[in-house]
Amino acid sequence: MKKILIINGPNINMLGIREPGIYGQQSYAALVDYVTGVCREHGLEADCFQSNHEGAIVDRIQAAYGDADGIVINPAAYTHTSVAILDALKAVSIPAVEVHLSDVSAREDFRHISYAGMACQTTFAGYGFDGYRMAIEYLLEHCI
């Protein structure tokens, strides 16, 4: 069975509590249920990881080498700052797709740059949970 690693960065564990007008009412547990269900529908194994720590995300990407077939990543705030996450994605060369719950292109200027996105096949932003489905289906159709 092919394995998709779904990585969520800082404050995504606060979904449902943090700025619900931007990120929605549903919890991180609901997101895990959702992506696990999408993967199951497609006969894929979902491995969900969330961390508030940049180095832990780098470690998890490195650990995926030789293990995961695709990566769906919402690096959250580290999107806009982390060359380390960009380099980790490049290092393992696992096909990756970037997701954001909100439409980062329509928000503050500092959210318009994405380092991690430079190592990703494509980005889905502004579709809420559906963006994760789009990312999983993109990987399936184009990359794995």
Would you name the residues annotated as active-site residues?
23, 100
Residue 100 interacting with ligand DQA (CB under 6 A) = yes
For the chain, the residue count is 144
Residue 85 interacting with ligand DQA (CB under 6 A) = no
Q: Which CB, 15 or 94, lies closer to ligand DQA? A: 15
Q: Which CB, 68 or 101, lies closer to ligand DQA? A: 101
Binding mask 42-81 for ligand DQA (x = CB under 6 A): --------------------------------x-xx-x--
Helix (H) or strand (E) holding 74, with range, is: strand 70-74
- Compute the distance between CA of residue 75 and CA of residue 6 in angstroms, rounded to an integer: 10
Q: Which CB, 69 or 104, lies closer to ligand DQA? A: 104
Helix (H) or strand (E) holding 34, with range, is: helix 28-41
- Compute the distance between CA of residue 104 and CA of residue 139 in angstroms, rounded to an integer: 21
Q: Which amino acid is at 16?
A: G
Residue 102 interacting with ligand DQA (CB under 6 A) = yes
Compute and round to an integer the Cα radius of gyration of the chain.
14
Binding site for ligand DQA (CB under 6 A): 11, 74, 76-77, 79, 100-102, 104, 111
